[in-house]
Structure 1
């Protein structure tokens, strides 16, 4: 049985019969992303998690539900209730079908229309909050609504993807697939939202690749790495709260990507490689392409693409939507801006920082002052 870098045993997800819907989760393909998306003799490997039925979070949805059942937290036939921007909702709908649970999902008006229709088609009940929380934004408003639904049904269970350590442990098999598919990995590029797959994959990979460099990809307007909360268009990465599953010590650097950059990258990637995705994929591919140009030619870079393009036809791949949001008004950047500290200034476009801090370590009265948080991402540089 595999171990983490700290030597703790990992419990792997249950094996599902391949003839069942959940049985096709995992063992997703790898694709080499090279010319013309990247320059000659440059490129990176992309793990296409969109080949799961719903996306990367199918893995953790199945795992969290199975473990909750084993521990007696989730009774047979009891409801599952969770907050989601979309992809985990698809995974929980799959878990509900697999294990026989009704599923209620809480989202906000930013969810893609296609996603809401898909979730309903898969049998989930979708609740949409109408007002953001004064300080925690839409994310906290969704979580407050989840609490109300749980209070109304004592048998209901919430996986709490933001803070549940099972959300991290679920991704060890993904790391093992990467090793089996490409062998040595020097740099891993991952989107960061709940912190589950960035922590789970990097911890397991470092048992095989101790010198692994991990690059986190966030969105502008997200608070995860110490930036102030602002309205966000991009879904699937970023947060207006600080999830406990985010492992700040795993990151060597962080990039914030803006929606203009993500849209342009997603579209170029689709037309050049017949493989793409939405906001997260566009952001991750932006950073991976830049790394392939700036890191040593011998370095092997792997990027995780969390989902595919299908759910983004109303947003990322919709010219009217993008024009309305001003996402087609300016060209994308070729290189990121840089800041020395994650709280140096509010970033508004693609920006990089190699000094990663844990904003949760701020003293209660320290505010956002530089030097009041632990620096956790410099040990491996």
Structure 2
């Protein structure tokens, strides 16, 4: 069912720990964004996690490995095996070097060549599956290969980023930094993939600001919030499975954003604010600008998970956009309102103020439409 690329033996033998790397974790800047997305808005704050060593998910990666070591689940020098679409892979490469663990990652054939090269340059052993599973897509195919690797590598540890509470715990430092950098916060906008950073920061932030609203941002074609699973072009947010780290009860509303909106936002950010990123960054920027417009006087913040470099051949490439039917000029300027997630399939920017765990609410009740 799957095939794998050639791998290196060096990635599965012990490596010396470099704990000094941990001093580079986090400490990212917060910037005010006023770029038209697509029109004028009062501005919002963006935490630039793409400037961190190992990226945003280095926080989660270090937390998961340290937690496993404390529980005796991960022995010194043992290999770490995980599935990734790229971003967590960089974080685990960082954590593996810092803590002295070889890292084996399972990606898929849609992983960008530049990301493959970067992961291998960091000493990662990379396995690629060549086709999505009939049910569960690329994620299910990657997980099937991952289980084979666990059986082949005695003593190996699987962090299981989708369901590991230490994923969310790792973002306590992110919450602390936001609290130190902002005097007040009314609305938080978070992209959702594994559910780690949204679930990890909302508790501390609401203890500081009890009335804080949280808006989740998902990708069209993702099943996290109850939409039907479809092939997804956007990477880094969304899922074909239902991660248990998603804190469904903490969200006040959810938006689904499509590729045209994300691409348009990324390019506008690059032209007008210099700081930009990939699919997740474009999606949350679009929604954060909308939130700033519809909540006059509110202090709005979001997290930009990564920078633009990984996406030069996709988000910022005209040939890629044309080949995939992405027309940034057609991007929606406001979300379509749907009463509950199963009411209509979101093929572009859509919004719902009813949020429920799809696995716990198979029969959604009609929710109040929250038009703005």
Q: Is the TM-score greater than 0.5?
A: yes
Give, in angstroms, the shift of residue 110 of structure 1.
1.8
Following superposition of structure 1 onto structure 2, how do residues 65-76 of structure 1 map, counting pairs within 5 Å? Answer: 65-76=65-76
Structure 1 Cα separation of the partners of residues 75 and 196 of structure 2:
24
| In 2, Cα distance between equivalents of 1:36 and 1:258 | 18
Q: Does 1:319 align with 2:318?
A: yes
* Pair 1:370 & 2:364 matched: yes
- Paired residues for 1:114-129 under 5 Å: 114-129=114-129
* Aligned-partner Cα distance in 1 for 2:325–2:86: 23
What is the TM-score with the length of structure 1 in the denominator? 0.89
Residue 284 (structure 1) aligned with residue 305 (structure 2): no
User: Superposition pairs for residues 336-347 of structure 1, below 5 Å?
Assistant: 336-347=335-346
Give the Cα separation in 1 of the matches to 2:295 and 2:41. Answer: 12
Deviation of 1:301 after TM superposition, in Å, equals 0.3
Q: Structure 2: any 5+ residue segments left out of the alignment?
A: 1-17
- State yes or no: 1:213 paired with 2:213: yes
In structure 1, the partner of 2:104 is 104
Q: Judge which range, 27-36 or 175-184, deviates more.
A: 27-36
Whole-angstrom distance in 2 between the partners of 1:334 and 1:31: 23
In 2, the alpha carbon distance for the partners of 1:240 and 1:86 equals: 16
Q: Which residue of 2 aligns with 1:48?
A: 48
Q: Deviations over 1:313-342 (max 9, x none)?
A: 121111111111111275211111110001
Q: Give the C-alpha shift of residue 37 in structure 1.
A: 5.1
Instruction: Provide the C-alpha distance between the structure 1 equivalents of 2:51 and 2:22, rounded to a whole number of angstroms.
Output: 13
Q: Deviations over 1:197-222 (max 9, x none)?
A: 01011111111111110000000000
**In structure 2, C-alpha distance between the alignment counterparts of 1:231 and 1:35, rounded to whole Å:** 30
Residues in 1 aligned to 2:322 and 2:182: alpha-carbon distance in whole angstroms? 39
List aligned pairs for 1:162-201, cutoff 5 A.
162-201=162-201
Report the Cα distance in structure 2 between the residues aligned to 1:250 and 1:141, rounded to whole angstroms: 30
Deviation at 1:262, TM superposition (A): 0.2
Q: How many angstroms does 1:183 deviate by? A: 2.1
Correspondences of 1:18-37 after superposition (within 5 Å): 20-36=20-36
- 2:79 matches 1:85: no
Task: Say how many residue pairs are matched.
Answer: 353
Cα pair 1:188 1:215 within 8 Å, conserved: yes
**RMSD of the TM alignment (CA)?**
2.0
The alpha carbon displacement at 1:226 in A equals 0.3
Q: Report the Cα offset of residue 21 of structure 1.
A: 2.9
CA distance in 2, matches of 1:173, 1:75: 25
CA distance in 2, matches of 1:41, 1:116: 38
Normalising by structure 2, we get a TM-score of 0.91
- State the partner residue of 1:295: 295
> What residue ranges of structure 1 are gaps of 5+ in the alignment?
1-17
**Is 1:153 paired with 2:147?**
no
> Secondary structure at the residue paired with 1:357?
coil
Deviation per residue, 1:142-163 (Å, 9 max, x gap)? 1111111001123000110000
Summarize the Cα distance change of 1:263–1:329 in structure 2 as closer, same or farther, 3 Å threshold.
closer
> Is the partner of 2:105 in helix, strand or coil?
strand
Structure 1 stretch displaced more, 187-196 or 318-327: 318-327
Counterparts in 2 of 1:332 and 1:41: CA distance versus 1, 3 Å? closer
Q: Distance in 1 between matches of 2:129 and 2:240?
A: 16
State whether residues 36 and 268 of structure 2, in contact with CA within 8 Å, keep that contact through their aligned partners in structure 1: no
